[in-house]
Structure 1
């Protein structure tokens, strides 16, 4: 564990310095207890005045042990509070920023939340709590036993036997705990993810009348977590009871056997009292060994959970990145699925010409949004290739690819800052005038008129103070400000009213000039303004999605095909008014 732990320290050697300090302090403690025998022999002897030297040695050992422990503990607390916590969170944050966007979901969000809170806290206790307890529990008694062999080997043998028994009990306890605790992080992450999910779904749940009641997935996750916790507690209880029994039996045997040696004249009273004190010193740590074993396993599990994030595979970066000279996009016979056994796309092809708007339509669940995410390389395809200007997206660096694309999805997340700064995120070096122009083109200027602080209005966590349509406008303004040559739009007008839809559509058409646009279309106006349309199949039969028909919308509208039927449905729906 120590080898894995040092990666979170500024100076890897500092942990070994701490171990040395704790060991030295424990040895001094053990020697102090042994010195008690010689002090008592002098004090209870014929000339008590000679006990002063023994007392000074005893006090010196005790004070030295205290000073060494205090210095080591102070350094350990500093390392735990600054290096371990700071470096762990920093490394997790750095790694998360490098992971492919397709890695993130409710479960992984729970893992991250658990890692930066519970697991990091557990890891911070290694240097300041776990190590001193483990070392003090083992090294100090070991020191006493070694010296005791030269004082009274028979009682030393009893204590040695106890150590062997405790070692076997420790291995048994570890095996029990490890089995149960290995599943705990996954269960905790699942619960955290479900709770986060429930918080995000409050509007939906309340619309269904689920107010003041639990959501079943959360209940199930909590039940599973409670069951896991119960298993851990039971796994810990049996070894704890065993350690307590062993400690008490050991203490009773030492007292009884030592007394018999005193009565037989084979052991002096001073040595007996000193050994009894040492046996009492043994009792406490042995009784707590199960707790220390639990802490040790918790630290190991925390390390594994954090390392699971730190070693999560990133999408490979090209060693020699290539920059496309044009922005036409091609999906060439790709195969992709969220699970290997069920491909969403198989031998699927699509072309979005540079400077044109390519609309993608089809039933829900057919993978329309997935196409835009694959172009942005949220995931890599299993077969085939996706190219921009003839260059495989795998050969374009992530920074270059992100610079080339502006993405607007239906689910818009805003940071807890002002509207202006949320727009500026897409291009941090933009001037206030450029940000204002982007907001105007997105139709945000009309929204800002009735907000108390205009563009400086705080939006709250996730943008909760704004409506869905207003958040969508902020996202559109980001795309305007970024001014990227490729636009990936997941029906950006879906949350807007009819009046504003027309103005936003006009702005998007203006923005699309000279740019490659892939738009997931649901509205008639979006479809008919596209240069070409791809109609995708549904997945009712379980077959991979494929292109049913493609071409210019005006030409497809004249044919008796799925697109013409879809247009008829659009027109029928548009006649409805309230």
Structure 2
């Protein structure tokens, strides 16, 4: 619990931490007063069973009980209201810190398989974290401080019963620890499986056209969604069943302790070594101690689940961001140099082998460079490194003579515009999606880039023109239309370096020439690097880099590489044959 409170405090500012610690102090005081109120029953009963009755002492003890109960309820009211304030503070701090931290992580960290867990963390995980100070901490703190106060007080009433309580506390604490370990181990599996299911559900919804086209909706052997849901159901069942057994063990230990204490109390009274007043007081203490401890046991699983949620938040906040320079450097031009570049995804998150190994290349400012090679050669990764999606493992990448790490992420972003094969459009209008690149762009600016990217004919065809909503992820547009929106957005940004990954791959042949023309226009004024498969794009390049197995095996212009008869020549021959292929 101490670790959980420490994690919570890290999500709060100085004012929020003061509120948290004040709330905890009030809750601890509440527990002490609750235990004290029950302990004071013993001297009250002793006063009544002693002849003659000392009514002065009776009213003294009665007044003390009333004062303890009143103070307890006052602290209960204050700490409960303060808990909601702290919960709101935690929620605000969580969103702010997580949002700021996510913005500093490498762009390449945001893989598709992380969308589900992050979405769940921002949804249910957020409420789990805020729920801790708002609802759970009071029960946990009171469940510890009230019984502790009663156990300490029982030593004053009868040291033998105090020892029995102490031994019972060790037994119950061990059972509670076992319960929380069971919940933690199984909750990790459950959270992993439910995050995977969330990703599969989103995938299933978005891939309906493909699933229906190939008739795989009712084929269980292809049902990754069904498999993930079955796995989630299994992990949830294990969490519930094993947690129930842990709860049974805890309550069994608690009942054993209560039974033993009551038996000892009766035995000592019958032996004449304990007064009736002390017996009644200890009976009350024993029975009233059940409530906070039972509630603590019932909430132990929930507490552990919420502690795990806080731990996942902390783990995400500990993902190292890209290092940023204190004072970003300024580039002297837009030429690009790669020197001894080595990179592997295993160096980022243990996810794979080395992708690029010993890349050396110089791309002059204002040139048009095409990158070609077989699938898996590292072409897309090369563009992502230039755009600083990741930092290189070894070597350096320089833009304008400056290492991209010296320029900083914001500096690289200002210098580059990127068009990748997986185009994502946000919910909103076409104009909204273009203005992400230039929020102050005028209607004339939009029309200009639309003409270059051949987006103008798409806008004219749509019912509401620029104000047409594109749907989630651009679902109302075709792949070619989304590609043109992406190219227009890059044009609007007007960055000196443009990175295009298979920019014409999603376009039909009728539009390929138009987009190729737009790329050619970019090349006259900017440094352009294209991962290309289309023949027209490759031929237009000033320089071609051939990547194979993470290395540059050839470089030069089209005619030079064709005459060399190497990998590029084979690539060209295959593309020519594919272009000439037709149904007869």
| TM-score, structure 2 as length reference | 0.89
Q: Tell me whether 1:138 sits opposite 2:138 in the alignment.
A: no
Instruction: State the secondary structure of the residue aligned to 2:461.
Output: coil
- Of 457, 469, 475 in structure 2, the residue corresponding to residue 458 of structure 1 is 469
Q: Cα 1:326–1:236, aligned 2, differ >3 Å: closer, same or farther?
A: same
Matches of 2:534 and 2:439, distance apart in 1:
33
Once the 2 structures are TM-superposed, how far is the Cα of residue 8 of structure 1 from its aligned partner?
Answer: 1.1
| 1:284-303 equivalent positions in 2, closer than 5 A | 284-303=291-310
- Of 9, 26, 33 in structure 2, the residue corresponding to residue 6 of structure 1 is 9
Q: Tell me whether 1:60 sits opposite 2:54 in the alignment.
A: no
- More displaced 10-residue stretch of structure 1: 491-500 or 225-234: 225-234
Matches of 1:93 and 1:196, distance apart in 2:
22
Matches of 1:273 and 1:35, distance apart in 2:
11
Q: What's the CA shift string for 1:424-444, capped at 9, x where partnerless?
A: 001222223212322232222
User: Contact 1:180/1:232 (CA < 8 Å) preserved in 2?
Assistant: yes
Q: Cα 1:469–1:152, aligned 2, differ >3 Å: closer, same or farther?
A: same
Instruction: State the secondary structure of the residue aligned to 1:412.
Output: coil
Gaps of 5+ in 2: none
Instruction: State the secondary structure of the residue aligned to 1:373.
Output: helix
Once the 2 structures are TM-superposed, how far is the Cα of residue 374 of structure 1 from its aligned partner?
Answer: 1.3
Matches of 1:248 and 1:308, distance apart in 2:
38
Matches of 1:275 and 1:159, distance apart in 2:
11
Matches of 1:160 and 1:392, distance apart in 2:
64
Q: Tell me whether 1:470 sits opposite 2:481 in the alignment.
A: yes
Instruction: State the secondary structure of the residue aligned to 1:330.
Output: strand
Matches of 2:496 and 2:156, distance apart in 1:
84
1:280 matched to which residue of 2?
287
Q: Tell me whether 1:121 sits opposite 2:124 in the alignment.
A: no
Matches of 1:565 and 1:150, distance apart in 2:
93
Matches of 2:148 and 2:570, distance apart in 1:
85
Root-mean-square deviation (CA, aligned residues, Å) is 2.8
1:101 matched to which residue of 2?
107
- More displaced 10-residue stretch of structure 1: 97-106 or 163-172: 163-172
Once the 2 structures are TM-superposed, how far is the Cα of residue 259 of structure 1 from its aligned partner?
Answer: 3.4
- More displaced 10-residue stretch of structure 1: 303-312 or 270-279: 270-279
1:327 matched to which residue of 2?
334
Matches of 1:71 and 1:213, distance apart in 2:
58
- More displaced 10-residue stretch of structure 1: 156-165 or 220-229: 220-229
User: Contact 1:243/1:287 (CA < 8 Å) preserved in 2?
Assistant: no
Matches of 1:265 and 1:164, distance apart in 2:
29
- Of 143, 156, 159 in structure 2, the residue corresponding to residue 150 of structure 1 is 156
- More displaced 10-residue stretch of structure 1: 567-576 or 369-378: 567-576
| 1:311-460 equivalent positions in 2, closer than 5 A | 311-339=318-346, 342-460=353-471
- More displaced 10-residue stretch of structure 1: 57-66 or 254-263: 254-263
Matches of 2:240 and 2:156, distance apart in 1:
42
Matches of 1:203 and 1:89, distance apart in 2:
35
Once the 2 structures are TM-superposed, how far is the Cα of residue 447 of structure 1 from its aligned partner?
Answer: 1.2
Q: Tell me whether 1:15 sits opposite 2:20 in the alignment.
A: yes
Instruction: State the secondary structure of the residue aligned to 2:473.
Output: coil
Instruction: State the secondary structure of the residue aligned to 1:499.
Output: helix
User: Contact 1:352/1:517 (CA < 8 Å) preserved in 2?
Assistant: no
User: Contact 1:185/1:305 (CA < 8 Å) preserved in 2?
Assistant: no
Q: Tell me whether 1:86 sits opposite 2:92 in the alignment.
A: yes
- Of 189, 194, 210 in structure 2, the residue corresponding to residue 204 of structure 1 is 210
Once the 2 structures are TM-superposed, how far is the Cα of residue 477 of structure 1 from its aligned partner?
Answer: 0.9
Q: Tell me whether 1:305 sits opposite 2:317 in the alignment.
A: no
Matches of 2:570 and 2:138, distance apart in 1:
75
Q: Tell me whether 1:35 sits opposite 2:40 in the alignment.
A: yes
Matches of 1:319 and 1:140, distance apart in 2:
51
| TM-score, structure 1 as length reference | 0.90
User: Contact 1:358/1:533 (CA < 8 Å) preserved in 2?
Assistant: yes
Matches of 2:134 and 2:327, distance apart in 1:
46
Q: What's the CA shift string for 1:310-355, capped at 9, x where partnerless?
A: 1211222234432222212222232222236832222222332221
Q: What's the CA shift string for 1:369-412, capped at 9, x where partnerless?
A: 11211111112222222222332222212111111111000101
Q: Tell me whether 1:573 sits opposite 2:578 in the alignment.
A: yes
How many residue pairs are counted as aligned between the two chains? 571
Once the 2 structures are TM-superposed, how far is the Cα of residue 253 of structure 1 from its aligned partner?
Answer: 3.1
Once the 2 structures are TM-superposed, how far is the Cα of residue 561 of structure 1 from its aligned partner?
Answer: 4.1
Once the 2 structures are TM-superposed, how far is the Cα of residue 93 of structure 1 from its aligned partner?
Answer: 1.4
Once the 2 structures are TM-superposed, how far is the Cα of residue 265 of structure 1 from its aligned partner?
Answer: 5.2
Matches of 2:502 and 2:259, distance apart in 1:
78
User: Contact 2:337/2:363 (CA < 8 Å) preserved in 1?
Assistant: yes
Q: Tell me whether 1:70 sits opposite 2:81 in the alignment.
A: no
Matches of 1:371 and 1:308, distance apart in 2:
29
